[in-house]
Structure 1
Amino acid sequence: MTPTSTLPAPARGPADHDVRDQIVAAATEHFSRYGYGKTTVSDLAKAIGFSKAYIYKFFESKQAIGEMICANCLRQIEAEVSASVAEASLPPDKLRRIFKASTEATLRLLFQDRKLFEIAASAATERWQAVVDYEERTRQLLRDVLQEGRQSGDFERKTPLDETVLAIHLVMRPYLNPLLLQHSMDSTDQAPALLASLVLRSLSP
């Protein structure tokens, strides 16, 4: 099920980031305790101590709150992956680190709390903009590493770059998408390294 994605709902009312962050923090805790699917905006309002109308000044729906929580989580994953890649100097090592760090960070952040997994599942199923943007940034990171590898002579140059990026992203997808990752839990120890090695062999000049 992949309905057309839409842009994240803009925050309404005054641009008071402190209040918005307070709502998101409280919602994260509430979703973690009771689950995303079973929680309504009215439930959040009671838990936070705000009126429902006041919350709607900042977020137009429960999904808008969920999107921000999801975006925050994905940014953490990206930060961990970027830090790991920055520690490597050679393009092949950078590619290996993308596979390994992406899987490990996704496992830790999305599966340490099964209630919050509901948000990730909804985001992946409904193609929330936060997920679309995350996937595009992941492809851009792959593109940068591939370009560097082509310039250094580590990777072949005949295959169109965009085609290569898409193919590698598809290989990684079962370990990036939380809905798919939950069915691959028994292979997460070895799969990233094995898949990275397979991809690197295909990239040999």
Structure 2
Amino acid sequence: MTGHDAKEKTNGSTSMIRDAYWPSDRPEPEFEGRGPYFSASDEAILAQGRDRILDIAEKHIRRIGHRKTTVADIASDLGTSRANVYRFFPGRAAIDNAVCGRVVKALTEIAFSIARTDATASKKLVELLNVLHQHSRRTLMEERPIHELFVAATNENWATMNAHSERIRAILEAIIRQGLQSGEFQAENVDDAAQGVITAFLPFSHPVLVAQCFQEEDEIAASVNAQIRFIMRALGKSDRRGTEASEATLAATANSDPDYLSHFSVPVIYECS
């Protein structure tokens, strides 16, 4: 519904914030056509309504996949009508996009936590690449419906997946820039170096390529190690000792934040030696 439609429906006098009612009889807002009377409390109600829908949608997607999940399924679980769901999201595609954003947010937060540590740039880079690979492999092996969601999001250029990719790229650029400043890395251009790392590591992080290049654990570990060594050499890192992923750092972080590695059940930390 456009802002003009909302104005016609309300005669331009009040917001439609109170038009959608849930089984609890608590008023829930419409997410478009807010009008001039949309308040901060309405924003909070809106966020709660969206979260309730996404909680249910994610549950269904994890169980049967995003293509089989319907707005009718979501509305039924909420005990409301499809029309009320559409007050928050224009369609199922928007719901799928938002659920995808929710899931990748956890990975982005872990990537940021790696970048904020006091470790050397080379250790941060290796740790980040390991985490990106673990995440892709875990979803492929243990959460196939989520993996299929990522494949669709990547192939169809969903906004949330594109935003996630840009955040990961920005983190890579920051790590590479740190390495250049400390003398660990050598590169003429940070942007080109980051793109080179992303391209070189695609077989181990891209959801489609990870599925196509499925290998046994020992084989994939050797392949990841070899590719990380290649990346580090390409960045001008000649001291191999500096390229090892620090298990001690990972363990210390996990102890201080028990949820840090809970997203990654594949118990493998690959090292460059």
Distance in 1, matches of 2:143 and 2:200, equals 26
Distance change in 2, residues 1:144/1:125 (3 Å):
same
TM-score normalised according to structure 2 size: 0.65
Query: Could you tell me which residue of structure 2 aligns to residue 198 of structure 1?
Result: 230
Deviations 1:120-177 (CA, angstroms, capped at 9, x unpaired): 12111101011111111111111111111111111114x3221111111111222222
Distance in 2, matches of 1:124 and 1:51, equals 31
The 8 Å contact of residues 123 and 131 in structure 1, kept in 2 or not, is answered as yes
Distance change in 2, residues 1:72/1:180 (3 Å):
same
Counterparts in 2 of 1:156-171, with a 5 A limit?
156-157=186-187, 159-171=188-200
The secondary structure found in structure 2 opposite 1:181 is helix
The letter for the 2-side match of 1:117 is: H
Instruction: Say which one has the larger Rg.
Output: 2
Q: Structure 1 vs Structure 2: percent identity of aligned residues?
A: 24
Counterparts in 2 of 1:70-89, with a 5 A limit?
70-87=100-117, 89=119
Query: Could you tell me which residue of structure 2 aligns to residue 140 of structure 1?
Result: 170
Counterparts in 2 of 1:1-205, with a 5 A limit?
11-12=31-32, 15=43, 16-87=46-117, 89-109=119-139, 111-157=141-187, 159-186=188-215, 187-204=219-236
Q: CA deviation at 1:11?
A: 4.4
The 8 Å contact of residues 32 and 113 in structure 1, kept in 2 or not, is answered as yes
TM-score normalised according to structure 1 size: 0.85
Equivalenced residue count is 195
Structure 1's consecutive aligned runs of 4 or more residues displaced over 6 angstroms after TM superposition are: none
Deviations 1:88-147 (CA, angstroms, capped at 9, x unpaired): 611111111111011112333464222233321211110101111111111111111111
Distance in 2, matches of 1:56 and 1:139, equals 34
The secondary structure found in structure 2 opposite 1:37 is coil
Gap runs ≥5 in structure 1: 1-9
Distance in 2, matches of 1:143 and 1:63, equals 31
Distance in 2, matches of 1:82 and 1:32, equals 25
Distance change in 2, residues 1:188/1:84 (3 Å):
farther
The 8 Å contact of residues 35 and 115 in structure 1, kept in 2 or not, is answered as yes
Query: Comparing both structures, which one devotes a greater share of its residues to helix?
Result: 1
* Greater Cα shift, 109-118 or 30-39: 109-118
Larger RCO (CA within 8 A; separation ≥ 6):
1
Distance in 2, matches of 1:92 and 1:49, equals 52
Gap runs ≥5 in structure 2: 1-29, 35-41, 238-273
